[in-house]
Structure 1
């Protein structure tokens, strides 16, 4: 049986992980990461993956699940996470979801119509189009066949743009229709309380800018170089936020300052899209990061009804 759970979400760089660690110590919880990039082995610094020290302090789940050249979907995440949650329930631990991938946690708590299997030939044809035609033309194709999905995505979001095209080409159905079929019924599959970390926009953007610089100082570029020794730069995860810009710099296509500024700008844009997505969640309770005691008190009151 899946236990009552807590979700801490919000835009990138909002301090979700630190809050989750503190809460885990208070309620004897374990952390279930809800990040579509942290599932990949090797994407560490650029995804703000929990450090080894943090993972030793509190057990973390749903990270480092696959290699960069393997496909991983929201549906797969929901299946894997449900196994984890049942195990946590058996040993009396409280699951604390933390991350900014709204589709991942919605797939788990509300359910998601199973995405159809994609023939290898179609997957390869979409990847070839991305390489040859470029992201702009692929995004325009998606905008025509699934405008609702395209409106939520960045044209450079290789993973999701390609996935949307794959599903439409394979089924002639829109990916957004699969996502929406279960989300219309906002009844959760198990008890859950959802918190959102709120920052004023200027303060959040400043945090994003500073975090980008800090990540580069602690070895993000070296991480990318090591990955390029093992994988093709055309893989979707390496077209993710920040990784694509670093690869462009390493290839001599842009200078260092341009790279930093573009990562910061793209990350700010990403945070804005995340906030748009989270506002669809009517049961989400927003709070200021400096008022975390409110979260602790609300969590204790919520859990008391189930323990």
Structure 2
């Protein structure tokens, strides 16, 4: 009687954390240590127009290890969790096929949940449908548009904030593109990760005072690196205000400075405040989503790096192949 072979298992390392936490540096260190590929899970770093304001890896970092899904989409495209998951799964499969360790890093919670927990099977919505929906909303105004949408899809509308432009457009485009509302799609069975995929999660959350200081210093560095010129170029694209890329922290504030509506110190202070608020929201989300064993809440050091490398090494050794 022949022995039954064990099913294949495919490891995936996730390095999560709030903005400015240092998770990208941690992911890069682990990529060098374990022959890994760093795969982006940040909703703004996917856009090619936001190299500076999204703090994408620089040329030196990219030279140290392969990086994927950074700057791969035009700001005219909407990157839903489903779209990102599809791209990420393709990159993960490529890593496993070539013997590389996929290392997912970012702070966009809905992307990480879509990968690890699953997502409703909503098909991609063509860009022209989104453009049409956006134009209709801008013409009608939020409340009138929402009222009309609520008549056609009351189940989804019951859980929508009429003032949340991005979510309202998403709900309307799904209805227009598929003939079914988001609420109906979410009642369908989830598309879950393959049973062979095994996740190890690290969530890097340094002490809040250190994190906030990093948020403040990061914006100063962005100005030095060309954030103002980057926003000037983005504005020249004449993208709709509802485009996700236009909602990146710093875009509206620098745009207001370029329009003469506020001086640079005021734009800087407002951007730093918004970055800290965003980081605080991320901290809260991760505290609720991650276990205590997955959270790293001390400063990064070589001794901590050694411990993490040992933990990941044990994970890889004990994951069935």
Q: Tell me if both proteins adopt one fold, taking TM over 0.5 as the criterion.
A: yes
Coordinate RMSD, CA, aligned: 3.4
Residue 90, structure 1, aligned to residue 97, structure 2: yes
Equivalent residues of 1:9, 1:194 under 8 A apart: yes
Residue 193, structure 1, aligned to residue 203, structure 2: no
Aligned counterpart for 2:35 among listed residues 28, 43, 54: 28
SS at match of 1:123: helix
In 1: Cα distance, 2:184 partner to 2:33 partner: 38
CA-to-aligned-CA distance 1:226-270 (integer Å, 9 cap, x gap) = 233334363331232211211121112222122111111111111
Instruction: Give, in angstroms, the shift of residue 104 of structure 1.
Output: 1.3
Equivalent residues of 1:126, 1:165 under 8 A apart: yes
Residue 286, structure 1, aligned to residue 295, structure 2: yes
Aligned counterpart for 1:79 among listed residues 86, 106, 114: 86
Q: Give the aligned partner of residue 265 of structure 2.
A: 257
CA-to-aligned-CA distance 1:131-159 (integer Å, 9 cap, x gap) = 467789989999x9567675xxxx77x54
Residues 117 and 90 (structure 1), Cα distance of their counterparts in 2 relative to 1, 3 Å cut: closer
In 1: Cα distance, 2:92 partner to 2:306 partner: 25
Q: Computing the radius of gyration over CA atoms, which structure comes out larger, 1 or 2?
A: 2
Query: Can you give the 5+ residue segments of structure 2 that lack an aligned partner in the other structure?
Result: 1-7
Instruction: Give, in angstroms, the shift of residue 209 of structure 1.
Output: 0.8
Equivalent residues of 2:45, 2:54 under 8 A apart: yes
In 2: Cα distance, 1:27 partner to 1:294 partner: 14
Instruction: Give, in angstroms, the shift of residue 78 of structure 1.
Output: 1.2
Equivalent residues of 1:127, 1:162 under 8 A apart: yes
Residues 139 and 274 (structure 1), Cα distance of their counterparts in 2 relative to 1, 3 Å cut: farther
In 2: Cα distance, 1:146 partner to 1:276 partner: 26
Residue 302, structure 1, aligned to residue 312, structure 2: no
Residue 62, structure 1, aligned to residue 100, structure 2: no
Residues 182 and 270 (structure 1), Cα distance of their counterparts in 2 relative to 1, 3 Å cut: farther
In 1: Cα distance, 2:170 partner to 2:142 partner: 13
Q: Is the deviation greater in 31-40 or in 188-197?
A: 188-197
In 2: Cα distance, 1:39 partner to 1:76 partner: 11
Q: Give the aligned partner of residue 246 of structure 2.
A: 238
Equivalent residues of 1:2, 1:86 under 8 A apart: no
Q: Give the aligned partner of residue 280 of structure 2.
A: 272
In 1: Cα distance, 2:247 partner to 2:224 partner: 21
In 2: Cα distance, 1:206 partner to 1:175 partner: 40
Equivalent residues of 1:40, 1:63 under 8 A apart: yes
Instruction: Give, in angstroms, the shift of residue 174 of structure 1.
Output: 4.3
Instruction: Give, in angstroms, the shift of residue 82 of structure 1.
Output: 1.2
CA-to-aligned-CA distance 1:261-303 (integer Å, 9 cap, x gap) = 1111111111122123223424570112333333222111111
Equivalent residues of 1:69, 1:231 under 8 A apart: no
SS at match of 2:197: coil
In 1: Cα distance, 2:40 partner to 2:59 partner: 14
Q: Is the deviation greater in 209-218 or in 228-237?
A: 228-237
Residue 53, structure 1, aligned to residue 41, structure 2: no
In 2: Cα distance, 1:276 partner to 1:146 partner: 26
Query: Can you give the 5+ residue segments of structure 1 that lack an aligned partner in the other structure?
Result: none
In 1: Cα distance, 2:283 partner to 2:269 partner: 21
